[in-house]
């Protein structure tokens, strides 16, 4: 599992495999919806407030499901953007996945970025294992290798098929059955993650778009917004220690 940490003036960003954890101040955001499931914790002395449809949820930790329109208000805290494929693989989720949003009153963050990893797994769970299907594992390991080698722009469905002896229709069926999400959704997530990592490393949106296989910077921005509910400008602002 790939793990990295970026320490900026006002924000700490951590990558745990396919997940992103962002801590800092402020953490409030615009009204949006995105593919990621979001878990948000308040720092000591603060509370998370989330507007979801006509309801307002408030507490030390709020979980917002994938695809739910919401708006956060939080002066200081941490949020986790969770890979939906990971959640589909959990045999015993720690919270209700059938709700638009919920308050997890027993989960509290102490404000220390060093404790974020343990807190994340305590809430989300760490029961996920790689799929039993050998051919799907082969493709996942190949995708990891392509990212490490800086060759993510070459990752396509056609290239994935070349790693296994399956037709496209059969592969799509096998992948969805093994991962719990369709190939397209998983590919969108991984590509947005790769692009976010490159942006956090300081590369320009244009360079990131080329490296991650987007047609241009506008395509990159739309895609990251759809997956994470944030833009390349947000990520670059974290590097500068401010929130836009």
The Cα 20–Cα 193 span in angstroms is: 8
The Cα 101–Cα 73 span in angstroms is: 15
Q: How do the domains of the chain map onto residue ranges?
A: 3-124, 134-240
Instruction: Kindly state which CATH superfamily the domain 134-240 is placed in.
Output: Homeodomain-like (1.10.10.60)
Q: In sequence order, what are the residues at sequence separation of 6 or more whose Cβ sits closer than 8 angstroms to the Cβ of residue 198?
A: 207, 208, 211, 212
Phi, psi of 107 (to 5 degrees): -100, 120
Q: In sequence order, what are the residues at sequence separation of 6 or more whose Cβ sits closer than 8 angstroms to the Cβ of residue 125?
A: 90, 92, 93, 94
Phi, psi of 81 (to 5 degrees): -105, 110
Q: Please tell me if the domain spanning 3-124 has the same topology as the one spanning 134-240.
A: no
Per-residue pLDDT of the chain (244 residues), as tens digits, is 788 999 988 889 999 988 899 998 888 778 888 888 899 999 999 999 999 988 999 999 999 988 899 999 999 999 999 876 676 666 555 666 667 889 988 899 999 999 999 998 888 876 556 777 899 999 999 999 999 999 999 999 999 999 998 999 999 999 998 887 889 988 999 999 999 999 999 999 999 999 999 999 999 999 999 898 888 988 888 777 644 4
> H or E stretch including 100?
none
**pTM for the complete prediction?**
0.86
What is the dotted CATH code of the domain comprising 3-124?
2.60.120.10
Residue with tokens 């956060």: 72
Q: What is the pLDDT of residues 53-101, one digit of tens each?
A: 889 999 999 999 888 999 999 999 999 998 766 766 665 556 666 678 8
């Amino acid at each position: 599992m790939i793990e990295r940490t970026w320490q900026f003036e006002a924000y700490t960003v951590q990558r745990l495999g396919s997940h992103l954890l962002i801590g800092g101040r402020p953490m409030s955001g615009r009204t949006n919806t995105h593919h990621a499931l979001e878990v948000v914790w308040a720092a000591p002395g603060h509370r998370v407030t989330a507007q979801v449809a006509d309801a307002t949820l408030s507490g030390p930790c709020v979980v917002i499901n994938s695809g739910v329109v919401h708006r956060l208000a939080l002066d200081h805290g941490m949020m986790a953007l969770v890979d939906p494929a990971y959640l589909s693989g959990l045999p015993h989720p720690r919270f209700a996945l059938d709700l638009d949003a919920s308050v997890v009153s027993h989960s509290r963050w102490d404000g220390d970025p060093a404790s974020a990893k343990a807190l994340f797994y305590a809430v989300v769970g760490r029961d996920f294992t790689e799929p039993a299907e050998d051919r799907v594992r082969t493709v996942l390991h190949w995708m990891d290798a392509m990212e490490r080698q800086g060759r993510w722009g070459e990752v396509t469905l056609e290239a994935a098929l070349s790693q296994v002896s399956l037709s496209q229709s059969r592969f799509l069926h096998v992948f969805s059955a093994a991962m719990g999400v369709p190939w397209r959704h998983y590919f969108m997530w991984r590509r947005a993650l790769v692009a976010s990592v490159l942006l956090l490393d300081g590369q320009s949106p244009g360079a990131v778009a080329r490296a991650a296989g987007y047609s241009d910077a506008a395509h990159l921005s739309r895609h990251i917004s759809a997956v994470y509910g944030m833009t390349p400008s947000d990520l670059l602002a974290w590097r500068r220690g401010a929130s836009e």
